[in-house]
Structure 1
Amino acid sequence: MRRAKRCQNVCVPISQVNLIFDSRTVWRDLTIWLRSYVNMKHGGLGDEEAIKEKINKVLRQSIHIFSTVFGEEYADEYVNLINEIVRYLGLLIQAQIIRNANMEKESKEKLQEIPEETGTLLARVNPYWEKEQWIELFSLYNQRIIEQSTALLNRDDKEDIYVFDRLLSLSSRIGDYYSRGILDYLMYTGRSIDGK
């Protein structure tokens, strides 16, 4: 009750409420479309260009949210890192399919490096995010995607379902942390996103 009384005088504009909601759900949407991409690459089912366009649409939404809150100067760096995850995921899947162990190893190593770079950027941009937390979340995310690709490669449907369920739960954790950091940043810095 004490917390509710303290927060009664806080007014969050509807534009910020919508932005916070969208910042949370973008991670789940990305996970769902990356699953479609991984399935399409392994099974050849689906329209690759249409799936890539959906992934790009989700990424554009993510970049819009990011640049609206933190400005254009950081948005390019952020989008490059997120695009690297998608790029190396594609290379990893290709390597698994053609059984190229060196290419698979290089892709996995790169997917393990990106969380450090992303965590550094996000902690630099927003003091309400911790670098170590982002490294942990993105490392787990990339690992789960690798596990999903491996399950599909091995035609292990039960493992694929299990991993996807864990990916959805993880995407919710990431979305919660991401949106909470944006909310804290907007509330405690007094930054406004009027009409955006």
Structure 2
Amino acid sequence: MNSCPTGTYPYKIQSGDSLWLIAQRYHTTIQEIAAVNSGIDMNNLYIGQIICIPEGYDTYLMILSNHMRLLWEQHVYWTRLVILSMVFGLPDTELVTNRLLRNAKDFEAALIPFYGEAVAAKFAELFTSHLTIAAELVQAAKDNNSTAAADAEMRWYANADQIAAFLGSINPYWSDEEWQSMLYDHLAMTKEEAVYLLTKNYEDSIAVFENIEQEALDMADMMTQGIVRQFPQYFG
């Protein structure tokens, strides 16, 4: 399907999607989605496929949800690229690291409309530390410097605590305990991914990355849902 009919909007299928989740996210039903997608096998959707979503959901909600998912996807993809570049000493290490660090500024821009510049900038500051400490940990592991690695890991988890507490303080629908749990899982899996790459266990590095990607989408949806509940006036 190259275009969507009047009264519908295009949506690209992403990892972890199901018709039920899409219908819930955009306040419609599976039956209504199927009705505007004649010729598409709803039981065999694939990542990257474009389907049409009927009117009846909030367009701003769709934009926010897609954008948060994009930012979290970019976060884990660019993190993986940085790890790969560092592990194998690739000449693009500085370039991909700079692109990864831009992720924090992109989150800042996404949060400004809801929380203002000061709050958004604070999140970006904490998130930048999350990224830079991760790079320190990978470098220390590559250098077999266990002391530096342990120090970086301790600061990494302390930073996760700060991020979770900060998010819990700015949105009553974001649980700092839930964010802490998800961030801890994220750190553990990212470390595991780096170790697999350092030890040339490429198959397992791919397997764990798939779990990282799915959790990133879960964090994106949790962030979106909290914003929608806190600012219902923007979403109808």
Q: Which deviations, in whole Å up to 9, do the C-alpha atoms of 1:128-177 show, x marking residues without a partner?
A: 11010000011111111111111111111122111111111111111111
Residues 1:181 and 2:226 are matched in the alignment: yes
Letter in structure 1 aligned against 2:192: E
Q: Distance in 2 between matches of 1:91 and 1:39?
A: 14
Moved more, 67-76 or 147-156: 67-76
| Paired-residue identity, % | 18
Higher fraction of helix: 1
Amino acid at match of 1:160: S
State whether residues 133 and 152 of structure 2, in contact with CA within 8 Å, keep that contact through their aligned partners in structure 1: yes
Alignment of 1:146-165 (within 5 A): 146-165=191-210
The total of aligned residue pairs comes to: 183
In 2, the alpha carbon distance for the partners of 1:46 and 1:59 equals 23
Q: Which moved more, 1:148-157 or 1:43-52?
A: 43-52
Instruction: Select the structure of larger CA radius of gyration.
Output: 2
Report the equivalent of 2:36.
none
Query: TM-score w.r.t. structure 2 length?
Result: 0.71
Q: CA deviation at 1:91?
A: 0.7
C-alpha contact 1:20 1:182 (8 A) present in aligned 2: no
Contact 1:20 1:183 in 2 (8 A): no
- In structure 2, give the amino acid aligned to 1:138: L
Which runs of 5 or more residues in structure 2 are unaligned?
1-23, 29-55
Residue identity opposite 2:140 in structure 1? A
- Where 1:71 maps in the other structure, the secondary structure is helix
Counterpart residue number, 2:159 = 114
Kept in 2, the 8 Å contact 1:21–1:179? The answer is no
Within 5 Å, give how 1:7-46 maps onto structure 2.
Answer: 12=58, 14-15=59-60, 17-45=62-90
Q: Which has the higher contact order (CA 8 A, sep 6+)?
A: 1
Q: Does 1:171 align with 2:216?
A: yes
Do the aligned partners of residues 186 and 150 (structure 1) sit closer, same or farther apart at CA in structure 2, a change above 3 Å counting? same
Query: What is the CA RMSD across the aligned residues, in angstroms?
Result: 2.1
Structure ranking higher in strand proportion: 2
CA distance in 1, matches of 2:205, 2:91: 18
From the superposition, tell whether residues 19 and 130 of structure 1 become closer, same or farther in structure 2 (CA, over 3 Å).
same
Q: Which residue of 2 is the match for residue 59 of structure 1?
A: 104
